[in-house]
């Protein structure tokens, strides 16, 4: 029987040789442990052992990036860095994301031989596509539901994130929907709080959405945050769908990749995947994993939309990293599985120009909370300024020149430019 493999690429740092560190990882994450044990035959290791495929040496450093490293007795004071590729037999775990992660991102982060370790890419064999069907809606399905083509889907977030009484929320959603918004989402902080239970929130919001649609002829897509324990996901999803809702949102790192995949088995509307808590998995450059890995797993599990941060935003991430993330979401896996990158965090009309210049596509969801709601002339003007910002970007016009023809854009520049 032909054996398939997962290829995992790591950035490592070690006081040992790169060859030694790579072998320790391959051994620890497959057939071996710290010492030989009965039953560990050469045939078993050949069939099930992870193997070092390649090692690329990088510039060394003189200080360890992480604590708890064990130095060899003859350590020369140098911490070597390199990119290594390790192959893991799929027979070790099967086409299962939870068990895959135990192999490629398990105890190896705790190995004393490593002073730095980061999972930077992963290649999966086709058999994963037989278990994980990926996004049901993705870019095309989301465009069809929102009725938006030829430009980004532009939206906003309910603010303040926490504390709005249901009547105030209803009024806010009504105003935003009448303003022409394509998309509105709950904040990740607000799912099913005691002061505004999800069931009552769905009722209030959908009342506003439907009333606005009667006035405008356009039904805004509203992403209800249904994050909760696994046993609550189906009930929460049904609350939304039965009320006529057209999108659900989950915090992926709260429910786990398995929770996302479970939701996808019965979801009837797009799944808006929020990556909050992502920073603790990635912020240190020599620890955790790259978004290149994370987004593949989220897409396999069914994310139709996936947050990628935003250019010139309020978080630490570099613009270069954000651009890589945006492009990664739309690069096919197994010939498909494309999902809508969600650009957010400190966004306003002016960020459209840099975003389009960097990715040269309008297949994005561009969300602005304050950048729309805090516009001097209100949310309708904020939405229009975002639309005009993208119009200027696609046409190759400078923002200032375009603002000379459009006062709402000029006001956005005055209010939000730094």
Question: pLDDT for 17-34, tens place per residue?
Answer: 999 999 999 998 887 665
pLDDT at 38 over 50: yes
Overall average pLDDT of the 36-60 stretch: 86
Check residue 45 and give its pLDDT.
80
Which pLDDT band holds residue 35 (cuts at 50, 70, 90)? low
Check residue 34 and give its pLDDT.
59
Phi, psi of 17 (to 5 degrees): -70, 155
Question: pLDDT for 49-82, tens place per residue?
Answer: 899 999 999 999 999 999 999 999 999 999 999 9
* Whether 292 contacts 118, CB under 8 Å: no
For residues 370 and 132, the model is more confident at: 132
pTM for the model stands at: 0.94
Which pLDDT band holds residue 138 (cuts at 50, 70, 90)? very high
Q: Where are the beta strands (DSSP E) in 63-209?
A: 79-89, 116-123, 153-157, 183-185
Overall average pLDDT of the 118-139 stretch: 97
Check residue 227 and give its pLDDT.
98
For residues 36 and 242, the model is more confident at: 242
Which pLDDT band holds residue 87 (cuts at 50, 70, 90)? very high
Question: pLDDT for 278-330, tens place per residue?
Answer: 999 999 999 999 999 999 999 999 999 999 999 988 888 999 999 999 999 99
Question: What distance, in Å, lies between the first and last C-alpha atoms of the chain?
Answer: 61
Token pair 């032909």 in the structure block, residue: 2
Question: pLDDT for 340-391, tens place per residue?
Answer: 999 998 899 999 999 999 999 999 999 998 899 999 999 999 999 999 999 9
Overall average pLDDT of the 110-117 stretch: 96
Q: What is the DSSP letter of 107?
A: G
* Whether 190 contacts 274, CB under 8 Å: no
For residues 310 and 45, the model is more confident at: 310
Check residue 1 and give its pLDDT.
38
Q: Where are the beta strands (DSSP E) in 252-391?
A: 271-274, 287-289, 305-309, 340-343, 365-367
Check residue 32 and give its pLDDT.
65
Cis peptide bond upstream of 352, omega within 30:
no
With residue 250 as reference, give the H or E element that holds it: strand 248-251
Domains of the chain are 5-130 (3.30.70.150), 138-416 (3.20.20.110)
CA distance 393 to 17: 49
pLDDT at 41 over 70: yes
Overall average pLDDT of the 8-16 stretch: 98
Question: Hey, how many other C-beta atoms are within 10 angstroms of the C-beta on 56?
Answer: 12
Overall average pLDDT of the 189-211 stretch: 97
Phi, psi of 55 (to 5 degrees): -135, 125
Check residue 282 and give its pLDDT.
95
Check residue 40 and give its pLDDT.
74
Q: Mean of the per-residue pLDDT values for the chain?
A: 94
pLDDT at 2 over 60: no
Strand pairing category for 79-89 and 5-14: antiparallel
Question: pLDDT for 212-267, tens place per residue?
Answer: 999 999 999 999 999 999 999 999 999 999 999 999 999 999 999 999 999 999 99
């Amino acid at each position: 029987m032909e054996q398939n493999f997962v290829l995992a690429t790591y950035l490592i740092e070690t006081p040992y040789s790169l060859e030694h560190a790579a072998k320790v990882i391959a051994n620890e994450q497959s057939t071996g442990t710290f010492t030989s044990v009965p039953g560990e035959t050469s045939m078993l290791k050949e069939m099930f052992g992870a193997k070092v495929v390649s090692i690329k040496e990088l510039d060394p450093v003189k200080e360890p990036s992480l604590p708890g490293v064990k130095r060899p007795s003859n350590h020369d004071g140098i911490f070597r860095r390199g990119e290594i590729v390790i192959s893991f037999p799929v027979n070790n775990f099967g086409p299962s994301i939870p068990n895959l992660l135990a192999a490629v991102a398990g105890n190896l982060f705790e190995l004393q031989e490593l002073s730095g370790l980061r999972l930077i890419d992963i290649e999966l064999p086709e058999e994963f596509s037989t278990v994980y069907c990926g996004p049901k809606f993705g870019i095309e399905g989301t465009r069809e539901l929102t009725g938006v083509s030829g430009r980004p889907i532009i939206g906003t977030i309910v603010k303040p994130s926490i504390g709005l009484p249901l009547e105030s929320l209803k009024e806010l959603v009504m105003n935003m929907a009448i303003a022409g918004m394509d998309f509105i989402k709950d904040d990740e902080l607000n799912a099913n709080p005691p002061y505004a239970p999800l069931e009552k929130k769905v009722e209030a919001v959908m009342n506003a959405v439907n009333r606005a649609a009667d006035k405008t002829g356009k039904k805004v897509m509203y992403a209800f945050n249904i994050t909760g324990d696994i046993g609550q996901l189906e009930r929460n999803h049904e609350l939304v769908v039965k009320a006529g809702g057209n999108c659900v949102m989950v915090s992926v790192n709260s429910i786990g990749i398995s929770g996302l995949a479970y939701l996808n088995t019965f979801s009837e509307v797009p799944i808006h995947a929020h990556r909050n808590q992502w920073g603790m998995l990635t912020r240190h450059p020599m620890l955790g994993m790259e978004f290149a890995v994370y987004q593949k797993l989220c897409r396999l599990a069914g994310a139709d939309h996936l947050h990628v941060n935003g250019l010139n935003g309020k978080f630490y991430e570099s613009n270069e990293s954000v651009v890589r993330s945006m492009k990664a979401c739309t690069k096919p896996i197994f010939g498909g599985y494309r999902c809508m990158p969600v650009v957010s965090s400190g966004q306003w009309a002016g960020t459209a120009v840099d975003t389009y210049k960097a990715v040269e596509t309008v297949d994005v969801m561009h969300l602005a909370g304050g950048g729309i709601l805090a516009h001097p002339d209100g949310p309708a003007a904020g939405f229009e300024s975002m639309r005009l910002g993208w119009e200027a970007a696609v046409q190759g016009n400078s923002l200032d020149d375009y603002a000379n023809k459009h006062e709402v854009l000029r006001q956005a520049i005055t209010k939000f430019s730094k």
